[in-house]
Structure 1
Amino acid sequence: MKNLTSTLLPSFFAATLLAACGGEKTPETPTPPTPAATTQAAAPAAVMTIEQRGARIFKRCQACHTLEEGGRNKVGPNLWGVYGAQAGAHEAFAYSKAMKAAGITWTEETMDAYLKKPAEYVPGTKMSFIGLKKQEDRDAVQAYMKSKTTPQ
């Protein structure tokens, strides 16, 4: 019996070790998780109003212009009440000769043309801004400006 135990016992342990190391065979490609487990409902995108979009675009203009009633002039004039006003007529601002002589009344149409290419619309203007190429950007800026500069 001693011989049998000394022969079988090591073989038994070796077989047990091999069986434990082999474990369960895993599939070559893992099964993808179910979509319900990984997909989260997408939050609806916040819809920006035209005035909000205009406010974002107008940030470029704020270095030179203010909008509030009684606001100070900067490099450019304060724009309160600009719609319906004559170009170059804001008190206490030193306009270029070209702007004073332009004979423009600021309307949506004239402002659109000016915002598109200021130096082309009023040659000799002091405004160094290159302009807004996209119509939707000009429309948004005007919507914002009108909401902030029109007396209620």
Structure 2
Amino acid sequence: MTSTFIATLTATFHLLSPLAAAALLLAPCTAAQAAAAPAPAPPLTGSAEAGKAAFRKCASCHQVGPSARGGFGPKLTGVIGRKAGSTTDYKYSAAMKNANIVWTEQNLARFLAAPSDFIPGNNMRFWGIGNTQQVADLLAYLRTQ
């Protein structure tokens, strides 16, 4: 914003009563403004088969399946719907234990894209997955586990 715009905005709000200024700030957007807002992208459909192939990168630290156990990372069997930091066979960071989130598909997608941004201070030493289709594939695979 330019300083001229800010000065004009400030002068305008000084002329209004506090109630009128609050009404302007809290007013809902118009239909034209709402129509101009971009629609959220539809969720990607993942392939469990492609996700199984992509999971090979994860398998160096994580296990899935009936005999899975925690190792370098926690087991991921049944991860969707589980509270973060809740399995007993892995030593989680304080950040993960205190995150107070449930691993929904949306939370997992955000975590897989940027683990240290989603839960700062977690132990996962992984940069993240920038390919949204690969994340969708991994989620499709994890749904089967």
Q: Fold conserved (TM > 0.5)?
A: yes
* 1:111-130 equivalent positions in 2, closer than 5 A: 111-130=108-127
Listed one character per residue, the Cα deviations across residues 97-130 of structure 1 (whole Å, up to 9, x for unaligned) are 0000101100110000000000110000100111
Question: Does the aligned pair in 1 maintain the 2:69–2:89 contact within 8 Å?
Answer: no
Task: Give 5+ residue unaligned stretches, structure 1.
Answer: 1-48
2:107 to 103, 106, 110: 110
Poorly superposed stretches of 4+, deviation over 2 Å: none
Counterparts of 1:51 and 1:119, CA distance in 2: 25
* 1:59-70 equivalent positions in 2, closer than 5 A: 59-70=56-67
SS, match of residue 105 in structure 1? coil
Q: Which has the higher contact order (CA 8 A, sep 6+)?
A: 2
Counterparts of 1:51 and 1:82, CA distance in 2: 15
Task: Give 5+ residue unaligned stretches, structure 2.
Answer: 1-45
Question: Does the aligned pair in 2 maintain the 1:83–1:107 contact within 8 Å?
Answer: yes
Percent sequence identity over aligned pairs? 33
SS, match of residue 53 in structure 1? helix
1:101 to 98, 103, 107: 98
SS, match of residue 74 in structure 1? coil
TM-score using structure 1 length: 0.63
SS, match of residue 59 in structure 2? helix
Counterparts of 2:98 and 2:67, CA distance in 1: 25
TM-score using structure 2 length: 0.66
Question: Partner residue of 1:145?
Answer: 142
**Following TM superposition, by how much is the alpha carbon of 1:81 offset from its aligned partner in structure 2, in angstroms?**
1.3
Greater Cα radius of gyration, structure 1 or 2: 1
Counterparts of 1:122 and 1:55, CA distance in 2: 25
Give the alignment's Cα RMSD to 1 decimal.
1.2
Counterparts of 1:81 and 1:50, CA distance in 2: 18
